[in-house]
Amino acid sequence: MTASAPLIRVAAPAKVNLTLHVTGKRDDGYHLLDSLVVFAGVFDRVTVEPADSLSLTVIGPQAIGLGAVPPQDNIVLKAAQALAAATGTTTGAKITLEKALPVAGGIGGGSADAAATLRALMALWDVTLPREALMALATGLGADVPVCLRGRPADMSGIGEQLRDAVPLPGCWLVLVNPGAQLSTPSVFRARSGAFSAAMPLETPPRDLDDLVTGLKTRRNDLTAAAISLAPEVGLCLAALTAQPGCRLSRMSGSGATCWGLFATEYDARTAARALRQQQPGWWIEPAPVLPASADPFALAAEPVLRR
């Protein structure tokens, strides 16, 4: 990086729903949610550098998942355009998105990318917005963008725009598994049936991992059955995770198809990931720590994406 040509890189960590209750539906069709959201230490990355106009290049192992999406329809470019309009910025930026997270996978890949783009461009362009205006801009991009922009464990409600800090959680690891299925969020919500659920946020900090698991087991992801009806592979992922030694709980994240298994230690998570890769070499499988509330997206971007 030089003074004449700064280059800014921001990590876009995977968003993981530990719980997801569908609590209602608004007149405009948006569903109301109650969800405990954390972030995992596996990332996309967004890099920005000065340019006369806005442009986007997508690279990385999961870039193929965006192959059919024209750059102008990518949420990253939409985020850049929205920020420029809101701040009166007339300069451009060359944006590079390194995709390591599955597309349409239920772990906020696109939303995390949009949030990282906003962070990076605010630094590059040296602009700010009042918190309320920034969160309104983020909500306009997508329901998960505000929580990804906030970037720390949160209780999420409303359509995703109502956020508060989650209670402190014990350190733990996840194994994230995606069978290669892309599920659109609207299709999963349309396939959901049954009554709405009550909100059940965690109000008391878990004493330890056992206490966290006990609390999570009394909650659920209300979209799981709908996702399995559209992509039966989701059920296979959950079964494969549950069968791993040391897996304390398995569940789907968001609207799928990515599922997670909860593990006490890095050793247990990496051991399970190796075993799963041998069983299912075509699946996307990544072990990752649950990031603490203090995680810095700029520092995270300097670290390599977790692989093995």
- Terminal C-alpha separation, the chain: 29
Give yes or no: 144 in active site: yes
Q: Which of 34, 113, 144, 268 is catalytic?
A: 144
pLDDT value for 44: 96
35 known member of a binding site: no
For residue 15, indicate whether it is catalytic: yes
Task: Yes or no: say if 174 and 37 are a contact pair by the CB < 8 Å rule.
Answer: no
Helix (H, G, I), strand (E, B) or coil at 276: helix
What tokens were used for 16? Answer: 């993981």
Domain layout of the chain by residue ranges: 8-165, 173-289
The CB-side HSE value for 254 (13 A sphere, CA atoms) comes to: 31
Q: What angle do CA 248, 250, 256 make, to 5 degrees?
A: 160
Question: What is the assigned CATH class of domain 173-289?
Answer: alpha beta
Distance CA(253)–CA(237), nearest Å, equals: 12
To the question of whether residue 102 is assigned a binding role by annotation, the answer is: yes
Give the pLDDT score at 5: 62
* Cβ atoms within 10 Å, residue 172: 20
Residue 282, CA distances (Å) to 23, 34, 109, 161, 261 in order: 35, 33, 20, 35, 18
The reply to whether 110 sits in an annotated binding site is: yes
Domain 8-165's class? alpha beta
Residue 266 CB neighbour total at 10 angstroms? 14
Strand partners, 25: 31
- Give dist(CA 120, CA 219) in Å, integer: 35
What pTM did the predictor assign?
0.94
Beta strands, E only, the chain: 8-25, 31-51, 54-59, 92-98, 154-158, 162-165, 173-178, 249-252, 259-263, 284-289
- The answer to whether residues 86 and 129 touch, using CB atoms and an 8 Å cutoff, is yes
Tell me the C-alpha distance between 126 and 222, whole Å: 41
CATH topology match: 8-165 vs 173-289: no
Task: Tell me: is residue 301 an annotated ligand-binding position.
Answer: no
Q: Which two tokens stand for residue 53?
A: 């106009």
- For the chain, 308 residues long, give each residue's pLDDT as a single digit of tens: 445 568 999 999 999 999 999 999 999 999 999 999 999 999 999 999 999 999 999 999 998 888 767 778 899 999 999 999 999 999 999 999 999 999 989 998 899 999 999 999 999 999 999 999 999 999 999 999 999 999 999 999 999 999 999 999 999 999 999 999 989 999 999 999 999 999 999 999 999 999 999 999 999 999 999 999 999 999 999 999 999 999 999 999 999 999 999 999 999 999 999 999 999 999 999 999 999 988 888 788 877 654 44
